[in-house]
Structure 1
């Protein structure tokens, strides 16, 4: 039975719109709901989730759609629904509160607040009978034990006010970079899964920044064990069920240690970072399987995740027709029907089984054998097999097109789009594919047209932009995208935009007291705490991205004050990079860039773009390129000319330049020679 719409019918978030016909009297977070709670002296129930969250859908179906349960919620509470992707500021605060109560975090997140927004109880998924009991018990406690609830909520409020910077930052020291890196690596290495890649645990999450950190560690140390593990990991996830073998793109995580059975949701931010990771790994190894993964993933992005005006959607659900993974899996009979005479061969490649290799007779496409072993076993030539596989993938995609598709979260989130813009730029660097740069430019134009108004950036767009102002991660990744675009186009417009938003971000988010950035802007509506995001997770922390931006822009725009802030931020967390590398991996990258130094490579002359493209296609992760045909306003390009009317390359370090050269090989020799012999072996 479909109920009359509640207030969420006017929301911009697809997740909130999913709840618009619940019998629960939902509010969006805002003044109306908060004022009602205070006026009626009612506790607030904040229920937080996101559109592709499996257990969020289950709890909605079991509880929020049920009249009897909804009546209890409406009678006893002011009920607020929050999309964590649209309001990560609210999610951060109340997730921290629930974890402080000793509850493992997750979504759906259900938190109970006093009318003054102070949390006193919470949890994640509740079965219907438990949920009803919780609602009833909290109502009784609120009426009979009010003082105890007020005391608990005040303790939690004080906990939330305590800054993570205050708890974890130390005074920067002059510790040896090489020694710090080795200690950090040893912590990671002790947990390597030497058979299946990644860390030795289940479930297995994709952690791109950890692997990017290890790639840079290898570059500076030539530690072959580190490189072997990274390449094993990239191979294994590329062969696993976590990667969509037929259509490209990665699922969120694997429930097992083999990268076999994923939770089938596909998130834009995972795929953005993995495009960067595989592109960077290709630049180092020239491994064609890495190139295939990037091209297939970006084909998926173009086919299923791109708005007509150039922006990118947020996520695809795990479920279709109420069954997780149904869209992506195959029974043996259907597989045979679709592939015909090639079914047996292709089925062996993808580990198909008559009774299914997963649940309910279904098969997840996965590869256990390397292509070399498979071809040898079947006495196949690579060219012949490539044609068979291409035909099979085309047939599978045609059949999948007739299936009921997973739900699409067509909300466009600023920070995730900026991450994908950077991913497209990295793919362009690796493969010199103009289509990738064209997509990146279209996406930045979308952000500028729909989500940027002067210096103010907005968080998300669905048919119209939301009224939620952007957070630090949005500004950080937008600045990052502008910097990346500049380094491949040499269009000063992008660099000016990066500088413009850096100035605004410092004005609105920077805390001069401790040298880090708040997650919310000074002008944002106040919550009960103003948090700072320090630790890297699946996505690098917004402060670590800002530190990297400050360092790169400090070089490109000749701002020593910005470089100093980056040095102080990364240096004050160096001890955590050593002690907790899993949660500080992007900080580790920043620390390497700051302490090791960056190659400042200026390319001048008519062929500056092509010359820079050849340089960028090499694996030199501690390099920033800038350039011009004739003239530029950039301080670091001042006085640099095309000698003998030939495109000229200037390799500089901290504003001090080596002799200008014309040949790319000579420039690369100068770049590599910068690293101390102890680091380069």
Structure 2
């Protein structure tokens, strides 16, 4: 058998599939051209390395000869690392949400030869997978014309609503605020904290906006602060958190935060740490500051590579292929290791028989002692991780380290090491999506906004006025290159999706890039140490800020919960404008 083209890919996820029985093509124009030339349907699978069920899909289906032979005969199979192609994955997730109400990973979608999505599914073991493919193939042979017509219709429906309402009126900021609060309250879980009644994600961008509203005192204070307190305490004290290592898992399968999905993402740490530190400062509560510091130190310990860059994720899959196995302990091991301190932990049952996740119930020096003993023992185990260094997520990491740089010398040192690796990129005409290779292609708009945001925050923390000016130039360049006629170009020249335009990008697990552009630009212009930029650059950035703010459409109000970052940016701008008027009198 010829060597798989995945074996030499920059993506660890793609390389992990090189031994599959499926003859995967890496995502790219060549694979789609092949499907069209051969007039064969496409089977496109999207996932990521730290995902447990993506690992199971490979083991249970893609490595089975019967599955591989069937796919190779019937399809052009294409494999996608969703972290390297988030815009494409977002398109596929929208399709799945349109079809069945929810997305997720691993995601497998069948498409026409000209790349129109037909149907999709998530994890399936070999027998079910074979039945699905056989059923599709039979229908494809008998009803191809009808299937292609239906796929063309579905594809048109995936056009972003923001691009179809070009005549939307100007956004009313107060309406956006009111709807954001109303929608947040509607799905808030006042018993266990967070949003929703089933699986729980942190929703860090939304929580950051609510925390900012609490700071501005623009809402009923008691109700808002109580909800934020309940939420952050539940996330800190429950199963969403790795109490030993300090970080947060990606999400919980239940509303009680007690059934974690064990992958840890770099962006989760980079967003949760500043959120906790801000809560500690705002409420003068040391428990939140301590938790935020633990997150940063854990991020440094587990995510920072020897070269100073930060890896993407820690895998949910243990060396033995078990979900969460790296983090779980038997009761006897915990008692033997901790002795009398066993009474100071809660051994959480996460569903794995006779294995538990230790939740530490004390603080201060006693907590540090328990953590260190468990950490020393746990480090004997082999951790699996995705070692690729994404530009955007490293930008978020730099911002988080800047926020905590005064808490501990090692936090500042880690930030300085990271910046040392990022600084040479400022001289590049085209930034790469993966920092240490061009193989993954150029950075897109979101990557570069996160990068500029991190540079600004680190410049402010380290009082590097030249760096602040450079981040301003990058923000202005992004405006000039990606903003036109009221739309941001979220992606360009991408196979399957082409160009993607948006009036305002939404908050997901990550903050809206267009909202963060607004917020970072306004903070930079207001920064008292920002005196190293040319007058021309400052005026241009001010004008860009005014233009974008005025062109935001009222359609944001409909989905206000997903525009928290844009809302907080607009409120910040209004607050600074009011302060400037006050100072003039």
Q: Same fold (TM over 0.5)?
A: yes
Distance in 2 (CA, whole Å) between partners of 1:114 and 1:432 is 54
Deviations 1:352-371 (A, max 9, x none): 38xx675311222236x7x5
- In structure 2, the partner of 1:520 is 491
- In structure 1, the partner of 2:535 is none
Q: Is the 8 A contact 1:197 1:236 kept in 2?
A: yes
Q: Cα offset for 1:66? A: 0.5
What SS does the corresponding residue of 1:508 show, helix, strand or coil?
Answer: helix
Q: Is the 8 A contact 1:197 1:229 kept in 2?
A: yes
Instruction: Within 5 Å, give how 1:236-635 maps onto structure 2.
Output: 236-320=234-318, 321-340=320-339, 342=340, 346-352=341-347, 358-366=351-359, 386-405=364-383, 407-428=384-405, 431=406, 433-449=408-424, 454-461=428-435, 464-512=437-485, 515-521=486-492, 524-525=493-494, 527-532=496-501, 534-553=505-524, 555=526, 557-558=538-539, 559-570=541-552, 572-573=553-554, 576-577=556-557, 579-597=558-576
Q: Cα offset for 1:402? A: 1.7
Distance in 2 (CA, whole Å) between partners of 1:103 and 1:258 is 23
Measured at CA, do residues 80 and 298 of structure 1 come closer, stay the same or move farther in structure 2, by a change above 3 Å? same
- In structure 2, the partner of 1:617 is none
What SS does the corresponding residue of 1:78 show, helix, strand or coil?
Answer: strand
Q: Is the 8 A contact 1:8 1:19 kept in 2?
A: yes
Q: Cα offset for 1:461? A: 4.3
Measured at CA, do residues 161 and 242 of structure 1 come closer, stay the same or move farther in structure 2, by a change above 3 Å? closer
- Judge which range, 91-100 or 304-313, deviates more: 91-100
- In structure 2, the partner of 1:653 is 580
What SS does the corresponding residue of 2:443 show, helix, strand or coil?
Answer: coil
What SS does the corresponding residue of 2:109 show, helix, strand or coil?
Answer: strand
Measured at CA, do residues 335 and 60 of structure 1 come closer, stay the same or move farther in structure 2, by a change above 3 Å? same
- In structure 1, the partner of 2:215 is 219
Measured at CA, do residues 530 and 186 of structure 1 come closer, stay the same or move farther in structure 2, by a change above 3 Å? same
- Judge which range, 88-97 or 316-325, deviates more: 88-97
Distance in 1 (CA, whole Å) between partners of 2:185 and 2:123 is 35
Q: Is the 8 A contact 2:32 2:495 kept in 1?
A: no
Q: Is the 8 A contact 2:42 2:77 kept in 1?
A: yes
Q: Cα offset for 1:589? A: 0.8
Q: Cα offset for 1:79? A: 0.8
Distance in 2 (CA, whole Å) between partners of 1:432 and 1:62 is 46
- In structure 1, the partner of 2:533 is none
Deviations 1:71-110 (A, max 9, x none): 1111111111000000112212222233333452111111
Measured at CA, do residues 55 and 167 of structure 1 come closer, stay the same or move farther in structure 2, by a change above 3 Å? farther
Distance in 1 (CA, whole Å) between partners of 2:309 and 2:407 is 22
Instruction: Within 5 Å, give how 1:220-235 maps onto structure 2.
Output: 220-221=216-217, 223-235=221-233
- Judge which range, 270-279 or 490-499, deviates more: 490-499
Q: Cα offset for 1:287? A: 1.8
Distance in 2 (CA, whole Å) between partners of 1:309 and 1:470 is 21
What SS does the corresponding residue of 1:271 show, helix, strand or coil?
Answer: helix
Measured at CA, do residues 386 and 220 of structure 1 come closer, stay the same or move farther in structure 2, by a change above 3 Å? closer
Q: Cα offset for 1:134? A: 2.1
Distance in 1 (CA, whole Å) between partners of 2:159 and 2:273 is 37
Q: Could you say which structure has the larger radius of gyration?
A: 1
Deviations 1:606-662 (A, max 9, x none): xxxxxxxxxxxxxxxxxxxxxxxxxxxxxxxxxxxxxxxxxxxxxx626x8579xxx
Q: Is the 8 A contact 2:171 2:556 kept in 1?
A: no
What is the TM-score with the length of structure 2 in the denominator? 0.90
Q: Cα offset for 1:454? A: 1.9
Q: Flag the structure with more relative contact order, 1 or 2, with Cα contacts below 8 A and sequence separation at least 6.
A: 2
Measured at CA, do residues 158 and 181 of structure 1 come closer, stay the same or move farther in structure 2, by a change above 3 Å? closer
Q: Cα offset for 1:30? A: 2.0
Measured at CA, do residues 298 and 75 of structure 1 come closer, stay the same or move farther in structure 2, by a change above 3 Å? same
Number of equivalenced pairs:
569
Distance in 1 (CA, whole Å) between partners of 2:335 and 2:426 is 50
What is the TM-score with the length of structure 1 in the denominator? 0.78
- Judge which range, 240-249 or 525-534, deviates more: 525-534
Q: Is the 8 A contact 1:421 1:481 kept in 2?
A: yes
Q: Cα offset for 1:283? A: 1.6
Q: Is the 8 A contact 1:107 1:125 kept in 2?
A: yes
